[in-house]
Copies of this chain bind each other. A is one copy, B any other.
């Protein structure tokens, strides 16, 4: 579905938001351990996401990553677009230059509604809405974490 970087980013940001709820600002090592991602890699990924404005960070003792409470929730489609580019979930499943319902490929009829469902999903869900689900114990971040 998503590439590794996107997966790590999703799990990482949800974990960060979850910890922020408890007034904590997790650092790269803790995040890497909890979401089971390569430490240096998640550090690099978060660095880029901070630069892109998705969240903030603080250096030094007590430092770490956190979301600005004044900023609006982050729809995961924004995250995905920022990492994978806009190509995701817009193109033709057959690889035609563009998906055109007036000139459809033989998969279009059945694929287009699925693609729409994916777009709806990633537009509606935000990092915060996902974190909320985990917080309510309804859903899981990994096999250990509740």
Binding site for B on A (CB under 8 A): 1-2, 4, 7-8, 10-11, 14, 91, 93-97, 103-111, 113-115, 117-118, 121, 125, 130-131, 133-134, 138-143
Verify B133–A106 contact, CB threshold 8 A: yes
A135 nearest in chain B by CB position: B106
Taking a contact as CB atoms under 8 Å apart, the answer to whether B111 and A114 are in contact is no
Q: A103-B140, A140-B105 are in contact. Are A95 and B130 (CB under 8 A)?
A: no
CA distance A87 to B9 in the complex (A): 20
- The listed residue (B1, B141, B143) touching A93 by CB distance below 8 A is B1
Complex interface: chain B residues within 8 A of A11 (CB): 94-95
A121→B107 contact, CB < 8 A: yes
> How far in angstroms is the closest Cβ of chain B from A20?
16
Q: Which listed residue (B105, B110, B125, B142) contacts A110, Cβ 8 A?
A: B125
Roughly how many angstroms separate A105 CA and B118 CA in the complex, as a whole number?
Answer: 16
CB contact under 8 A between A121 and B130, given known A96-B142, A140-B104: no
Q: How far is the CA of A93 from the CA of B1 in the complex (A)?
A: 6
Judging by beta carbons under 8 Å apart, are B1 and A105 in contact? Answer: no
**In the complex the two chains form, is B114's CB within 8 Å of A14's CB?**
no
Select one of B8, B94, B117, B131 contacting A117, CB under 8 A.
B117
Cα–Cα, bound, A94→B11 (Å): 7
